[in-house]
A and B are shown apart, each in its own frame.
Chain A
Amino acid sequence: MPTVTKAKSYSTQFSQWFHAETSIAPLVVFRIIFGLMMLASTVRFWAKGWIDSLFIQPNNFFHYYGFEWVKPMGEVGMYTVFVLLIISSIFIAIGFFYRWATLLYFLLFTYIELIDITNYLNHYYFISLVALIMCFLPAHRSLSVDVWRKPSIALSKVPNWTIASVKFQLGLVYFFAGIAKINYDWLFDAMPMSIWLQAKTHWPIIGALFSEKWIAYSFSWMGCIFDLTVVFFLLSKRCRLLAYLSLVIFHIVTGVMFPIGMFPWIMILATLIFFSSDFHQKIIVFIQSILKLKEVEPIEYNSLFLHGFKKKLLTGFLLSYMFFQMVFPFRYMLYPGNLFWTEQGYRFSWRVMLMEKAGTAFFYVTDPKTGKRGEVDNSQFLTATQEKMMATQPDLILQYAHIIKQEVESRGLENPIINAEVYVTLNGSRSKLFIDPKVNIAELEDGLRHKDWILDF
């Protein structure tokens, strides 16, 4: 039974490390960075007019399966939500009513993301998860207004799991983005990288290189290897600086090349958490000197060290969370067909910038009594963005058919027959029929089961 004992000793070691204490500094710096980045993102979102164009202008919204009950709240409501997001992100940064601020931020941010699935971005999902984790972390117990108001809560040490859970979540994004890149198109066809680079060939000096096939291959392979390995190099003390440097370059390059908004900058700053406590302590000293803050010395020795059942419960909870996060992206294996084509099990799996997909969807309504048939004017129902997203995703095609059905029935045409002729191109492939044009989509119900009306790629 030596292997069992060995495994047991590993798990004990792990558990010990998990609960052992370390400096709170990285967590505090992360809190400040997170708060400020969320503040910047929210202000940017507002300034770009997206509150109006995404939550007020559309006549119809696409729901997440199981979250059909989430609705936008109208103009006053939506702007109020954003004001609260701004306030709570400031509160997070300065550590003021931290628990309430993180909870409020998590709930409101998740709420706005749930309103319309066509706005889905992996990095929004990432923010929601981090905000959720932040609710449980004692990130306000040093260098915060909360500590200034109530010095007795000050902490200088926190258990390893607190910082590790943030690192885990960050690492997961890179690692799974890397796994997703291990596919034939990406590695052996340099697709869709070739298409993306082709569009940048007019850039001065380096533009000419972008039409070279080997450049597309290098970008593809480098991206894949980077994503798969960077988190391990960041964890290693020896390679950390170099890994971080390559991370900065990687994100700046992708940020310059693609319209991916705040994401690169959030990642560049968030991954600072991988640096040592000393490094973060220096940042804290720096912030204190700039703002002329005095250090609040912990009055008594506080510790978050848990014992017995509570310790086991926490370990169990964190391990299940990690397990879920690592298994969930693989749920696509339960579905037949090409993942990129059907997108069944595609979301919430860190599949970022992986494919170039475009679609055109013609919807037709037939009156079953008269046989009269006509093409739907998509612009009467959807915004241009919604239409574009819908045209390549089967579950949204289904939802759209139901949106049409509801409208038509409210106008007195019962049981309309709704067909869709959808042409989709994936990674530059021939545009072909995406779903069965003969199937009456109005009769189908959404669900987690395989959608057998999607045609083969």
Chain B
Amino acid sequence: MHLVLQTLLITKIIILEPPAKVGGSFLAMKRYTPIVFIVFALLSLGSCCTKGPDDEVEYSDLFDNIANNMIVPRYAEFQSDLGALEMSVNAFDASDVSSLSLIQEQFKAAYLSWQSISVFEFGPAAEYSALLRANCNAFPANYSRIEENIEAEEYNLAFPSNYGAKGLPALDYLLFHSNPSDLLIELSDSSRMLYIQDCLADMQGKVDEVVNAWDSYRTTFVGSEGNDQNSSLSLLFNQFLYDYEKLKRDKFALPAGFATQFGIPLDADTSVVEGRFSKMSFQLIQANLESLENIYLGVGEDGVDGVGIFEKLKEYNAQSTVVDGDLAVSIQEQFSVCKDAISQFTNDLPFEIVHNIFEVQETSNQFQKMVPMLKNDMRSYLSVTVTLTDADGD
């Protein structure tokens, strides 16, 4: 901003200086004033280009809270959950059913904590070597591919063709697809056990990489300026929206038969739910919603309510155009409505789709209601450009 002030100052000097009083020296100067202006214009061009408009880092408090109190601790938790799962897998005893249930419990914990990091698919997590969403949670799993891999005892989990054969959905299948006694027999096969360990190691490798990269990326993230495509504001907002839309479609509308694939309307298919065999579908959706809600409200992993998007919208006194009243509050309320809608179900999603499709549809409508609040209102107020390029100038 000081540039504009500087310009104003110069204007003032020039306007105020009456030529008559300054005499000869001014006349001499006058011949060069246009050139002075070009130089000035060029200078301002240079300095403005290097210095972004929003360099006061208006969102640094938000980024700081999200990075330090959410991203870092959430990754750490997922990392330690995977570690605990690994330990119990290594300690597996085929003759002891309790060792299986311990693995299952640890798995559930890990799958729940995954829900709180899927939204951070930018920066390190979006690097080609990491791509956490594709590597950790490509559901539904490709069961036949998993069996083929185990059978062959030769596979490269790094191949994209194996996205569907690894990660949490693969473990969900391997650890839950049958009753405990059959599973115990199955898992006594060492190649099967090895496959589970390989899946785990694959995820751990990716997550470790992301966690390490965040050490240095944290500064970049918090200090990011402006709102162009690579700004933290844009990345965070776009991923927030994307994670929400994936939740709404992939985890809910798709199995319920409200969605399309490449435009083709699909029938309900309860086999494509997330956490199909562990029957965690609703818990996972709820955890995902809560993770998004906490980012929105600014609640850290320690439970402290800091600066979130909510506070920013309050700061702008943003009004909703979708419902009446304050935008910050209406989005908060819509989160509660969605969470309540999910918690009213007593069984898992596949059951409710078959027996209670009306309530499922109602819940889907509530998920839908949130979208214009985010796209029409929140986006405008945070002046987040999903636009990658320049807007129309004047």
Contacts and interface: CB of A to CB of B under 8 A. Distances in A.
Contacts of B321: 425, 428-431
A358 B390 contact: no
A50 B266 contact: no
Given A53-B229, A264-B393, A353-B392, A375 B258 contact: yes
Contacts of A385: 386-389
A427 to B, nearest CB: 10
Contact of B393 (A48, A54, A121, A195): A121
A367 B263 CA distance: 10
Interface in A383-400: 383-385, 387-389, 391
A357 to B, nearest CB: 9
Nearest to A358: B376
A407 B266 contact: no
Contact of B263 (A227, A275, A282, A407): A407
Contact of A199 (B56, B260, B381): B381
Given A262-B390, A366-B265, A429-B321, A199 B383 contact: yes
Interface string A363-383: 001110000111111011101
B177 interface: no
Given A202-B58, A248-B41, A425-B377, A256 B1 contact: yes
Given A53-B229, A256-B53, A257-B53, A388 B258 contact: no
A54 B319 CA distance: 33
A268 interface: yes
Interface stretch (B32-40, B103-111, B341-349): B32-40
B263 to A, nearest CB: 4
Nearest to A351: B392
B155 interface: no
A194 B73 CA distance: 39
A252 B11 contact: no
A177 interface: yes
Contacts of A54: 388-389
Contacts of B8: 249
Interface of B: 1, 3-4, 7-8, 11, 14-15, 33-35, 37-38, 40-41, 44-45, 48-49, 53, 56, 58, 226-229, 238, 242, 245, 249, 253, 257-267, 315-317, 319, 321-322, 368, 371-372, 375-377, 379-383, 385-394
B375 to A, nearest CB: 4
Given A202-B56, A252-B4, A379-B242, A244 B37 contact: yes
With most chain B CB atoms within 10 A of its CB, the pick from A195, A199, A405, A424 is A199
A152 B284 CA distance: 79
Contact of A379 (B4, B228, B245, B394): B245
B264 A408 contact: yes
B82 to A, nearest CB: 28
A202 B375 contact: no
A261 B393 contact: yes
Given A198-B317, A255-B48, A256-B1, A380 B377 contact: no
Given A376-B260, A429-B321, A256 B4 contact: yes
20 contacts: A54-B388, A119-B389, A198-B381, A227-B394, A252-B44, A253-B4, A254-B394, A255-B53, A257-B53, A259-B390, A260-B394, A272-B38, A275-B34, A353-B391, A353-B394, A358-B379, A372-B267, A381-B263, A387-B386, A411-B264
A256 B14 contact: no
Given A202-B58, A259-B227, A376-B260, A245 B37 contact: yes
A380 B38 CA distance: 48
Nearest to B241: A384
